[in-house]
Amino acid sequence: MATTVRSFAKINLGLAIGARRPDGFHGLETIYQTVAAHDLIRVVCGATGHAPITIRCDHPAVPCDATNTCYRVAERMLQLWQLDTTVEITIDKRLPVQGGMGAGSANAVATLFALERELGRELAPAEQLRIAAEVGSDLPLFLLGGTVLGAGRGEQVYPLPDLPTLPCVLATPSVAVSTPQAFQDWDALAASADSVAASGLTSAAPLGTLSKFSRSAFSWLSHLEATGVPAGRSGDRAETLLLDLVRAGIENDFERVVFPQYPELHEVKRELQRAGAKLALLSGSGSSLFGLFDEQARAGQAVEQISATGVRAIASTTLTRRAYQEQRFV
Ligand code: C5P
């Protein structure tokens, strides 16, 4: 027997960074959104092998040792259940590994679902959440899927009313942005803005704060909830919803430290906007960017335009929670 799970990616429909906490992480708020683009994770248990957990992946940038997020999740599950079966995990990489779309985190949660099914056992929801949050801030959102509010260091997740299925373009310039470095750069930016403000010489523009993000996000969400999104009738509602999202002023704070260092990423955002994206943003700390479109045809044209500049781009769609859960197992 083998179990194969689609490991769907995510984008961030905005992200606000707060202060560094005593544990070294930063408080943040974000709206996660799962998308249909995915890797495949295949899990087989009980095959004869030397190591209890084996990772196979032919992508050179994916570690196949105990540092792999899939390994770390499987290890914790075997430990909890006190099982000494062998587990073989094969990662079929289709998503870019440069980051921003949570692919490594999604792979780990897909491993959790696959291993539960392979072993015919289920973790209690609290255990799923504990294991996911221990392995990384971006894992718990993949336990829910759909449109998800993330708080704390990103690991506290709350299901939100789902966005309808919208065409989207995922563009990944081949630049590796370090997430810890981007957080450090944010700290430096925040510190310099504070010192300018303290000097009293000028009223420094305040950095994007969690409270501003909360206000924007909740104003948009209350609208989303109030108007509702009838299933299967997303067409003409898409544009209004996207305009509302832009009007609410939802941004990604990482753009303020990542774009000055990698102007080519800013250029891809402009390219998405020129191609007609209603909302174009950096996803997470990058290097992936996404554009949301009101029409599939426009998204297709955008892929062509961006690919012509030498940047990898694919057309996908946002994925509702229900679709995420129903389409998980292959
Ligand atoms: O949790 P995850 O392993 O994805 O985090 C990677 C790194 O990003 C952390 O070690 C930390 O340096 C930084 N981080 C942070 N604040 C967060 C999430 C991540 O500073 N909320």
The pocket around ligand 1, CB under 6 angstroms, is made up of 25-26, 28, 136-138, 153-154, 179-180, 183
End-to-end CA distance of the chain: 13
**Catalytic machinery residues:** 10, 138
Calculate ∠ Cα 217-33-285, nearest 5°: 85
Q: What is the pLDDT of residue 203?
A: 45
Is 70 exceeded by the pLDDT of residue 206?
A: no
Which residue, among 282, 274, 293, has the nearest Cα to 250 in the 3D structure?
Answer: 282
Question: pLDDT tier at 207 (50, 70, 90 boundaries)?
Answer: low
Nearest CA, atom 14, ligand 1: 25
Give the percent of the chain with pLDDT over 70: 90
Q: Which atom of ligand 1 is nearest to the CA of 183?
A: 20
Ligand 1 mean position, distance from CA 19 (Å): 13
Question: What is the reported pLDDT for 236?
Answer: 66
- Judged by DSSP in three states, 276 sits in coil
pLDDT in tens, 276-313: 999 999 999 999 999 999 999 999 999 999 999 999 99
pLDDT at 14: 93
User: pLDDT tens digit string along 155-176?
Assistant: 999 999 899 899 999 999 999 9
Distance, CA 27 to ligand 1 centroid (Å)? Answer: 10
Using one digit for the tens of pLDDT, what is the confidence trace for 171-201?
999 999 999 999 999 999 988 887 766 666 5
Higher pLDDT, 250 or 108: 108
**In the predicted model, is pLDDT for residue 211 greater than 60?**
yes
Question: Which residues, including other chains, have CB under 8 Å from residue 123's CB and lie 6 or more apart?
Answer: 77, 80, 112, 116, 131
Q: Is the pLDDT of residue 229 over 80?
A: no
Structure tokens at 55: 């990772």
CA–centroid distance, residue 151 to ligand 1 (Å): 13
**Distance (Å, whole) CA 48 – CA 71:** 17
Ligand 1 atom 13 nearest Cα: 180
pLDDT (average), residues 260-289: 97
